[in-house]
Amino acid sequence: MCGIVGYTGTEAAKDILISGLKRLEYRGYDSAGVALERTSAHETVVDVIRRVGKVAGLESELANVDAEAACGIGHTRWATHGRPSTVNAHPHVSCDGRIAIVHNGIIENFAELRSELEGRGHTFASETDTEVFAHLIEEAYAREHDLLGALREACTHVVGAYGIAAVCADEPGVIAVARKDSPIIIGRGEHGSYVASDMIAVIDSTRDVVVLEDGQFARLTPEGISYTDAQGEPIEPPVTHVDWNIDMAEKAGYPDFMLKEICEQPRVVRDTLVGRMTGGELSIDELGLSLEELNLIDRVYVIACGTSYHAGLIAKNLIEMWARIPCEVEAASEFRYRDPIITPSTLVVAVSQSGETADTLAAIRDARIKGAKVFGITNVVGSPVARESDGVIYTKANKEIAVASTKSFIGQVVSLTLLALLLAQVKYRLTVGQVRMLFRELGDTAEQIQWIFETQKDAIHEAALACKDAHSALFVGRGMGAAIANEGALKLKEISYLHAEAYAAGEMKHGPIALIDPGFPVIAIATKSPVYDKTVSNLKECEARGAKIIVVATEGDEDIREIADHVIYIPRVRDAFCAITATVPLQLLAREVALMRGCDVDQPRNLAKSVTVE
């Protein structure tokens, strides 16, 4: 998490940094800061300006700062080590104030390094792990008198993940950059050189970028960019051209990014399916496994965190139903700390919106060591999950700005559905004709989502009114509905701060029903399915105790109104695909409740878009 941007060239650096930081704010917004080089009395100094809170506050503070500075680095932070405060905000500086750095990631051995540095006379101003980098570079620079060489030396002492950019008053106009397990892109534009943790920060200035790999370093100057490996040898990494436009990162007339991204979900379904049916058969060339290898798969683990974990719960239903392969869904943060049964015929499916989730990456590495085949599902091309997997499906959600994932979740579910169909196809559990039919129905969900947008707005609004003053809520369902309930509960608590839990509806009587008193909201997924009657029976237990019942139901189901206070309809769809359609009204419901409670739906408190620490 956190965001980095840097520039050196002929333009006003502060304007470029602020613009980039605003676009990176989805990655963290506890604090923000910049380091700008300024020439004073024939000497270059580094001015560091930091502010707690969002980038707008930093922008106000920079209003009177020298606009002539043409080199600088900036950072927007999501706190890990050290509370949100001015002293903990980036950039951090060396003891003499002549070196400033910004850093994404986590330094696992920072306590040991800090103790050693303090023993050698360094004074620390913050509680952060990042600050050790500034002092390590300072020590190395005293010997090297070369910023990039000093950065390279500092990295040899650090255990952990980093994307780092550094400037030094003794080398005006130079930015040194390094990367390990934390995304960094480098670009060259008409007016100078750029570094950022995300393409979105510099897309106005350049479309041709280098995605820095682990162990690679870059030296940026106004005149150009050079690259070296960990040994300092020159390298020429490939340049990637980015063809999407900035409109993808703007609200396009919507009041918030979350609503914009919810409304983009029909496109995500269509784009994720494009090219997947060739010659009448399902095809995922990127899988990186032959059909023979796929046929040998006898166990599947889906490893993920948060929303992606819920996509995995849906995948478990589909893989076991269609392919008849045992499938387990594991929180990535737990997977690596136990001893799962893994053999060469095990397939580990790593699901991560950002492709840089630290827990998921660690689990991938453990799985590969134990001999598993690893397949990634992510939204970010070239991300660590993509690079460290044998194969990958990109969800085609494009940039997702709102912190609470919506369109990426739908993309993940569609991608996992494709994987389940492919496994069933290669194991001959489904015929070619059955796979074609299911693929066609999967594609139909795009229009069905659009139907929800066009017809259920009022119903969702009324249901939100029934929830907005509650202190807690329960989400329930059975079968596929139970998996969907988990995602609905997460969305509500993420953005409205209303406590919510999800339960399999049949479990209500085993404890949670004690919570229900008159007016308590119970949100149920009760679509037409093999377990519909059982779900209705469970809801009657809630009705008898005065619960306010909100139901996501199948279009045309009027009987459900006998027990429901509010009904939100979705089109009739095969139970296997109802997760795609039934999730959408729950996303919209969470957003409505959050807005009614005065919450920021794009940037909920304490959360960041990409979680790169364990």
List the one residue out of 97, 108, 47, 55 whose CA is nearest residue 77.
55
Which range has the worst mean pLDDT, 4-8, 257-261, 369-373? 369-373
pLDDT in tens, 395-440: 878 778 899 999 999 999 999 999 999 999 999 999 999 999 999 9
Alpha-carbon distances of 605 from 55, 59, 415, 446, 467, rounded to whole Å:
15, 21, 30, 31, 20
pLDDT at 264: 92
Position 80 scores a pLDDT of 66
Domain 3-243 has what CATH class?
alpha beta
Highest mean pLDDT among 252-266, 324-338, 579-593: 579-593
With beta carbons less than 8 A apart as the criterion, state whether 210 and 239 touch: yes
Query: Given a cut of 90, is residue 378 above it in pLDDT?
Result: no
Rounded mean pLDDT, 149-168:
95
What does the mean pLDDT of the chain come to? Answer: 90
The pLDDT confidence band at residue 290, using thresholds 50, 70 and 90, is confident
pLDDT at position 610 over 60 = no
pLDDT score for 613: 46
What pLDDT shows up at residue 233? 96
Confidence of residue 572 (pLDDT cuts 50, 70, 90): very high
| 71-96 average pLDDT score | 88
User: What whole-number percentage of the chain has pLDDT above 90?
Assistant: 64
Max Cα distance, the chain (Å): 82
Residues annotated as catalytic are 2, 609
What gap in Å lies between CA 586 and CA 487, rounded to an integer?
Answer: 8
Rounded CA-CA distance 310/408 in Å is: 12
From the list 97, 104, 110, the residue with the least C-alpha distance to 154 is 110
Under DSSP, is residue 479 helix (H, G, I), strand (E, B) or coil? coil
Tokens of 359: 């827990």
**What DSSP string runs through 119-161?**
HTT----SS-STHHHHHHHHHHHHHH--HHHHHHHHHTT--EE
State the span(s) of the chain assigned CATH 3.40.50.10490: 254-454, 456-601
Q: Which of 138-142, 218-222, 369-373, 547-551 has the lowest mean pLDDT?
A: 369-373
What's the whole-number mean pLDDT along residues 528-538? 90
Distances 284 to 42, 287, 429, 439 between C-alpha atoms, Å: 61, 6, 18, 13
CA distance 209 to 372: 33
Q: What is the DSSP letter of 91?
A: P
Between CA 126 and CA 106 the distance in angstroms is: 15
> Which H or E run contains 115?
helix 110-119
With a cut of 60, say whether residue 466 has pLDDT above it. Answer: yes
Q: Is residue 442 classed as helix, strand or coil in its secondary structure?
A: helix
Mean pLDDT computed over 495-507: 91
Specify the domain boundaries for CATH 3.60.20.10 within the chain: 3-243
Spell out the CATH class of 456-601: alpha beta
Q: How confident is the model at residue 79 (pLDDT cuts 50, 70, 90)?
A: low
Higher pLDDT, 506 or 459: 459
Segment holding 594, helix H or strand E: helix 578-596
**Of 64-78, 212-226, 484-498, which gets the smallest average pLDDT?**
64-78
Question: Is the pLDDT assigned to residue 248 strictly greater than 60?
Answer: no
- Phi then psi for residue 122, to 5 deg, are -80, 145
CATH C-level class of 254-454? alpha beta
What tokens does 185 get?
């892109």
Peptide bond into 91 cis (omega under 30): yes
The better pLDDT of the pair 274, 541 is held by: 541
Point out the least confidently predicted range of 207-216, 318-327, 344-353, 389-398. 389-398
Mean pLDDT of the region 506-534? 88
Identify the residue whose tokens are 């990162």: 249
Q: How do 185-189 and 225-228 pair as beta strands? A: unpaired
Mean pLDDT to the nearest integer, 216-245: 91
Neighbours of 45 (CB within 10 A): 14
Residue 293 pLDDT exceeds 80: yes
**Over 90: is that where the pLDDT of 164 sits?**
yes
> Strands, E, within 381-536: which ranges?
391-394, 472-477, 499-504, 521-526
Annotate 204-272 with three-state secondary structure. Answer: CCCCEEEECCCCCEEEECCCCEEEECCCCCEECCCCEECCCCHHHHCCCCCCCHHHHHHHCHHHHHHHH
- Residues 523-533, mean pLDDT to the nearest whole number: 93
